[in-house]
Amino acid sequence: MIKQPVGTMCISKLYSIEDCKLIELPKITDPRGNLSFIEGGIHIPFDIKRVYYLYDVPGGSDRGSHAHKNLHQFIVAMSGSFDVVLDDGYEKRRYHLNRSYYGLYVSPMMWRDLDNFSSGSVCMVLASTNYNEADYIHNYDHFVAAAQENRTTHK
């Protein structure tokens, strides 16, 4: 994949909110309890390099509030529920996650906010790369400028 420089960032390609989507996972039903599974590159459009999860999020708290330049993620509500608000610099969409057999694919260059956590919720995130602080964009204005420059560069 050819990477295009965007300001001081290196963005792999043009992404929009249309690239993000809810994905239904395989569900094997059984009276003893259901089973779902995720295989990187098969059920989700990337290989899994890292898994992390959020839990014990206090009521009224938000998580996220950043974007990634090149990281792909898949977000699953393992227990309880929460909302994910995605923003590509032009459009915003809110997704309510509350089933462990559905997940949200999040492409690079999406600002994400997680909120509305229910009591006891667990948010699992599968990531395409190992942790890399240099991949984060923490300032929303910088993100919007990079997203707009990226869109201009890829026209």
Catalytic residue check, 66: yes
> What does the longest C-alpha to C-alpha distance in the chain come to?
55
SS3 readout for 6-37: ECCEEECCCCCHHHCEEEECCEECCCCCCEEC
Q: How far apart are CA 107 and CA 127, in angstroms?
A: 10
Tell me the three state secondary structure of residue 28: strand
54 membership: H or E segment, kind and range: strand 50-55
Q: How far apart are CA 135 and CA 124, in angstroms?
A: 20
Q: Which two tokens stand for residue 42?
A: 């098969």
The catalytic position among 43, 66, 68, 138 is 66
- Give the catalytic positions in this structure: 66
